[in-house]
Structure 1
Amino acid sequence: MILSDRDIKKYLEEGKLVIHPIDDPQKQIQPSSVDLRLGNSFLHFKVEGRAYIDPTQDSPQELMEIIEIEEGKPFFLRPGEFVLGTTIETVKLPDDLVARVDGRSSLGRLGIIVHATAGYVDPGFCGQITLELSNINRVPVALYPGMRICQISFYKLSSPAETPYYKKAGSKYHNQKGPTASRLNIDFCKKEEK
């Protein structure tokens, strides 16, 4: 069951669901989702001189550089470019809700993709949402920190998760702040330790 705006507001009022800060509930709370806004930090791959990225060998965190955008200034996402962005809002899910992040259709119509594959948010997750931004248009698109960039919808589970994200061993992104690079290499490090 997808939560309606009425249920989203109820969950927020009761503190079961946390989305902070919501500056303009009238604008951000939609009929069955909440619009989240773009933060001002981006992670960009430094790939000059690299033939490929090997997640068993490379630490993606070390292959990325942070770009901070001043208030009121745009970040230009070039055609074919991929960067990690973040939401302004921190989201905290209860153990009985799962969430899905999708791009806003208005940005999709400009060729902006908000997530490559990771639109799913586990029950018990807490943190800012990392966005996998890419531009499939043929011209750069200006993105402004503070603009509504994506929407998050919520699905009620049949029962609370037995092991929510914050209790799961190996949860690599719990309490993340800002755009967070892939930590896939940690999975391979753990295999080598065994």
Structure 2
Amino acid sequence: MFLSDIDIKKAVQNGDIVIKEFDEKRLQPASYDICLGNKFLITSSHESLVIDPVNKIYAKHVERIVPDGEAYYLHPGVTVLGTSKDYFGSDKYLIQLSGKSSLARIGLVVHNTAGLINPGHFLNITFELCNFNKVPIILRPGMPIGQLLFAMLSNKAQKDYKKTGRYQDRDWDHFADPKELEAKLVKAPKAKIKPAKK
């Protein structure tokens, strides 16, 4: 069961949902609008030959801070990571991130697959921003970028995300930390092709 605007507001007031700098004007009938932050993580494609997530080989990235009042141009076919201005989370509810239809209609994808926030996960969420249009899309810090839906669980979760969660308090360090997971320049293995039978 998803929470209505009335229940979201009550949950924020009693502490079951944490939203820093909660703004009642951003409440929708069954969701809460969140805004784009200032941090972007951009792939250095000229330094990255391959991505192998199984072996934890990732592309090299550059972090860029876009000040308030300025803009980032997301070019066609490009994916970058961004963050929310809003810090939020809940020990009680499952949170779902959804895009906004007004942005989807111009070809902007806010998250590719990672749209669930487990109970116990408190964060400035990372967006997977991709431009499916044929022209650049201008992104501005502070613009409404997505919405949060809050779902009630049938029971309290047995596992604690604070102890087991991969991204707890880490955001995108797994991409940006050069000591832990710096991209390795490797050559993709050549495919073994059997000669055709004559």
Give the TM-score range, shorter chain. 0.7 to 0.9
What CA distance in whole angstroms lies between the structure 2 residues aligned with 1:21 and 1:6? 18
Residue among 79, 84, 89 paired with 1:87: 84
Distance 1:176 1:51, change over 3 A: closer
Q: Greater CA radius of gyration, 1 or 2?
A: 2
Specify whether residues 4 and 129 from structure 1 end up closer, same or farther in structure 2 by C-alpha distance, changes over 3 A only. same
Alignment of structure 1 residues 27-176 onto 2, 5 Å: 28-60=26-58, 63-94=60-91, 96-168=92-164, 171-176=165-170
The alignment partner of 2:168 has SS state of coil
Q: Kindly provide the CA deviation profile for residues 123-175 of structure 1, in whole angstroms up to 9, marking residues without a partner as x.
A: 1111110000000000001011001100010100001101131132xx22112
Partner Cα separation in structure 2 for residue 56 and residue 163 of structure 1 = 24
Please tell me whether the aligned partners of residues 128 and 176 of structure 1 are also in contact (alpha carbons under 8 angstroms).
no
- Runs of at least 5 residues in structure 2 that lack an aligned partner in the other structure: 182-198
Partner of 2:18: 18
Letter in 2 for 1:158: S
1:8 partner SS? helix
How many percent identity over aligned positions? Answer: 37
Question: Are the counterparts in 2 of residues 84 and 180 from structure 1 also a CA contact under 8 Å?
Answer: no
1:91-125 CA-to-partner distances (Å, cap 9, x unmatched) read: 1211x311110111111111100001100111111
| CA contact 1:128–1:175 (8 Å) conserved in 2 | no
AA at the equivalent of 2:64: I
Stretches (4+) displaced over 6 A:
none
What is the SS of the residue equivalent to 1:21? coil
**Which secondary structure does the structure 2 equivalent of 1:151 belong to?**
strand
TM-score (norm 2): 0.83
Give me the whole-angstrom Cα distance separating, in 2, the residues matched to 1:137 and 1:105: 15
- How many residues align? The count is 178
- Compare 13-22 and 47-56 and name the one that shifted more: 47-56
CA contact (8 A) 2:48 2:60 kept: no
- 1: CA distance between counterparts of 2:63 and 2:174? 10
Distance 1:58 1:166, change over 3 A: closer
Q: Residue 59 of structure 1: CA displacement? A: 4.7
Normalised to the residue count of structure 1, the TM-score between the two structures is 0.85
Q: What amino acid is the match of 1:30?
A: Q
Query: Helix, strand or coil: the match of 1:162?
Result: coil
Structure 1 residues 155 and 182, CA gap change in structure 2 (3 angstroms) = farther
| CA distance in 1: counterparts of 2:80 and 2:11, whole angstroms | 32
- Tell me the equivalent position of 2:184: none
1:168-187 to 2 correspondence within 5 Å?
Answer: 168=164, 171-176=165-170
